Structure 1
């Protein structure tokens, strides 16, 4: 017969044996791993941003690809860079663990960078260069040249997908303290931002003015160094062993609840299956929310095996598995609200580049002109400054005045408001730009520089950067609230949210372009300001939706308090 107390004692002994350090084994986890992980993040991001941020120019100038085709290829690559992390996270959570996934995909990224460097350096892998302004048709890439290019881009994108967010989870796994985990996520976003700034400025300059072979070569070296650094810290990492696909567990709960849908819920704790361990008071009891799922853990005589013991099956799940699925159901509305935020950011980012192309981008009276795509740097710089000010000054001040920290949902709500302010400022600046266009009679003169400084665009980009300073809060929220067996997936869903928002933004632009005249090829003839105001309306409505979701949301770690008040209270029909 089963002896729960004996099983519990054996489990404690096993856990103690696994977690108690010996005199010969180094202590794993903690801040000792920080230099290795953050160094790896910095190097990999430097390499990834170095090839992706200037991809369109590379395709147009070196592969003689038309601007429209280059835009489509670039859109596909950006979408893949945002969606592939989910694949890497599932592999880490289900089968291989974070360390193995980051190692393998760092090497895949290295292969992609090697191919891009070779393509940039070997003329036979590219079509003959087409002189600027040539009246003769340019040579198109051959199918073999396209094949090599797409293979390189696929490998490089897979490398980004398997590392960027998986390593974020691995870094947080090194800490037990929630504060340390939040601090790590702040450093993680800072590393991403700093690396992206360097790539968007220094490496892009090398590619455009010195040579793309050298520029890609720098990315290749950065990738190789980061991989070596990551492997060098292997002895210090705390590794989480995956326990199989989390989606199988989710499917089992749904199937079991459906199969037992006609059963009446019990109020007796012993009628529910808790796995090999008996429930701890106030921690494992089934909660009242989404109570129809509790049937999945309800024991019946048909669930008892031939030896008289209950075991997991497609008809019986543990209470913990049921509660994990409930946690996902609770967090999905909060996550879904972020999709529209990503959509507005994607649209405003594209429109800002179009604005910059028509405006005076010279610095003062000098001849130095800021590249239109480089205005994203102001966003990144603002994000870095905002993270430092929030965490070193504003939050400590808030805590000293109120004696408690602002909750993650409160911080995200503030980010939503700041995003709206950014969109409003973009709309007002575009209104002024169109006024200047009409005043100087430039409406029907495409290519003319509007006598208005593009530095005005720094205002909305900087405000948007302040909003994006709350990305670590978002990552940390998902990391804390997702089930423990889905930690890698928890951070990757941020990338999934961005990917969906990017594609949705493209769809919205296409629809608006079809039914209105706001977005012609010459934006001086259009009403981009109306597009920004449309984004403001969408952002306001989405913020209202977020407030409702936040009001109804219940933090996972607060379930203990509720359960102490009513340990096993279950609501039947």
Structure 2
């Protein structure tokens, strides 16, 4: 992750990097501080039940992860990454201001109550409306920034190694800023004031937005290329309409484009997924006299066909990562509920905020990223003679994530045994006599897994996606996270319905069984990943 001056270009390079990375830091501070501690805010300030708060938090996280996909589509097709990121920052700033007002003004919150009991008064319709307006603005805003700015940053560089270095710095900054937010800002929210904490998130978002806009003279422009999705959609339609046509091995039988006078013949489509090659097969009446396509939904270029096939080829590998995000979403919400029942004291005067426990995951990830880049990669290259590919990196991440589930189950079993002994001896379940630091090993393993598979996935998609879909490529990991959060909410709801594992008081449940189920499914998913990766052929070489 060495930073060296850009050469040969007045715009872009590491000059632009300085502005973008500061914006990333501010975005991460603001989004983490306003979104990741909401489960504690919902329980303590809005009188929600614990499992309900966990499910709503997962839905919000899912929305935040899905909006980057819509932002990427708009960036690729119409506005460009810089404009989408700038507008999204404005929306996010408004959302943090609304949340700050709600935390500050008593009239916008229900009366304080004891931990979501049945006697607690829920928020009024007006209070709910203000809450959901703020949450909508935050999820749309930060969702629109998160990976659009990653694509914009990578577009400032020419060399593949510089782009890879940027992604390492992007994730490193993202996690370090999140660590600061989950310690300092979470502490302020829990021990000083939610209003002050959310206000700091708004300030960080404002600074990030101003910094991004200030760097405009140093950026390379990223021009949208129209709607690539419409072009790709034509491929399966044209293929089906020509399903009776016989494929040919002759270059002149396939349409490569036109130069304004006659068709251009570049090459025959590749052999994989040959059915779709029919979309580029020239039939009578498909081409106008000037060489242009006469019927767009009957004829596509060879490049459009190959781009479409590359996306289809990636989908099985992409689907293997859905379980990883589902598992992370489940662990991320339930681990806060575990922490709420455990001893969180460090010394006699300081108590760790429950929402800050997952910071161990971010610390592990932040430490692992430079070690992987500076130690593991060179060692692998020296011993094996070949670089560690993105698919290797993703596979290693799978292994650590599965191990994390097994360790989570063992630690939860220990916590339950202590809780049951306390209930027999003291008839109380207010706090289990077990340090919350016991949750660190599972978070440490999960953090190593994230350091491997998230950057590996971003690099893989950026490398393998068509040029016209670069913003969408980096947003694919966000789409996976979003689906994972929604799946985690659905899984928790299903488990609550069909098993006694997840009651509102987890001391009377079997959360360890939940983790063991994730472990078994993780092993099966890893086997599926090995099959998909073995069958995959790289598009970019």
After TM superposition, is the score higher than 0.5?
A: yes
Structure 1 residues 307 and 522, CA gap change in structure 2 (3 angstroms): closer
Q: Tell me which residue corresponds to 2:360.
A: 378
**Which of 231, 235, 246 is residue 253 of structure 1 equivalent to?**
235
Q: Tell me which residue corresponds to 1:529.
A: 512
**Which of 416, 420, 435 is residue 417 of structure 2 equivalent to?**
435
CA separation in 2, counterparts of 1:528 and 1:146? Answer: 31
SS in 2 for 1:301: coil
User: Contact between 2:241 and 2:298, CA under 8 Å: does it hold in 1?
Assistant: yes
Q: Which one has the largest radius of gyration?
A: 1
Q: Tell me which residue corresponds to 1:459.
A: 441
| Further displaced range: 58-67 or 131-140 | 131-140
Superposed CA RMSD in Å reads: 2.5
Structure 1 residues 207 and 175, CA gap change in structure 2 (3 angstroms): same
Deviations 1:233-264 (A, max 9, x none): 11221222112222201111111111111100
Q: Tell me which residue corresponds to 1:392.
A: 374
Q: Tell me which residue corresponds to 1:556.
A: 539
Q: Does 1:35 align with 2:15?
A: no
Q: Tell me which residue corresponds to 1:188.
A: 170
| Further displaced range: 174-183 or 329-338 | 174-183
Q: Tell me which residue corresponds to 1:45.
A: 28
SS in 1 for 2:433: strand
Q: Tell me which residue corresponds to 2:3.
A: none
Deviations 1:285-313 (A, max 9, x none): 41000111011001122112144654671
Q: Tell me which residue corresponds to 2:524.
A: 541
CA separation in 2, counterparts of 1:493 and 1:179? Answer: 21
Structure 1 residues 535 and 252, CA gap change in structure 2 (3 angstroms): same
Q: Does 1:121 align with 2:87?
A: no
CA separation in 1, counterparts of 2:425 and 2:398? Answer: 34
Structure 1 residues 302 and 428, CA gap change in structure 2 (3 angstroms): same
CA separation in 1, counterparts of 2:423 and 2:18? Answer: 57
Q: Tell me which residue corresponds to 1:479.
A: 462
User: Contact between 1:444 and 1:525, CA under 8 Å: does it hold in 2?
Assistant: no
Structure 1 residues 429 and 87, CA gap change in structure 2 (3 angstroms): same
Q: Does 1:301 align with 2:287?
A: no
Deviations 1:381-432 (A, max 9, x none): 0001111111111211111222221111111111111111111111222233
Structure 1 residues 555 and 141, CA gap change in structure 2 (3 angstroms): same
**Which of 265, 271, 287 is residue 247 of structure 2 equivalent to?**
265
| Further displaced range: 233-242 or 328-337 | 233-242
Q: Does 1:156 align with 2:138?
A: yes
Unaligned runs of 5+ residues in structure 2 are: 1-6
User: Contact between 1:327 and 1:481, CA under 8 Å: does it hold in 2?
Assistant: yes
User: Contact between 1:379 and 1:464, CA under 8 Å: does it hold in 2?
Assistant: yes
Q: Tell me which residue corresponds to 1:351.
A: 334
Superposition deviation, residue 201 in structure 1: 1.3
Q: Tell me which residue corresponds to 1:563.
A: none
SS in 1 for 2:434: strand
CA separation in 2, counterparts of 1:321 and 1:499? Answer: 28
CA separation in 2, counterparts of 1:199 and 1:92? Answer: 28
**Which of 76, 86, 90 is residue 93 of structure 1 equivalent to?**
76
Structure 1 residues 348 and 121, CA gap change in structure 2 (3 angstroms): closer
* TM-score, normalising length: structure 2: 0.92
**Which of 210, 215, 225 is residue 233 of structure 1 equivalent to?**
215
CA separation in 2, counterparts of 1:533 and 1:135? Answer: 30
How many residues of Structure 1 are paired with residues of Structure 2 in the alignment?
Answer: 530
CA separation in 2, counterparts of 1:33 and 1:165? Answer: 17
* TM-score, normalising length: structure 1: 0.87
Q: Tell me which residue corresponds to 1:215.
A: 197
User: Contact between 1:127 and 1:139, CA under 8 Å: does it hold in 2?
Assistant: no
CA separation in 2, counterparts of 1:170 and 1:275? Answer: 29
Deviations 1:441-477 (A, max 9, x none): 5499562433332212101110110001021111111
Structure 1 residues 389 and 316, CA gap change in structure 2 (3 angstroms): same
Q: Tell me which residue corresponds to 1:10.
A: none
Structure 1 residues 344 and 172, CA gap change in structure 2 (3 angstroms): same
Unaligned runs of 5+ residues in structure 1 are: 1-19, 559-573
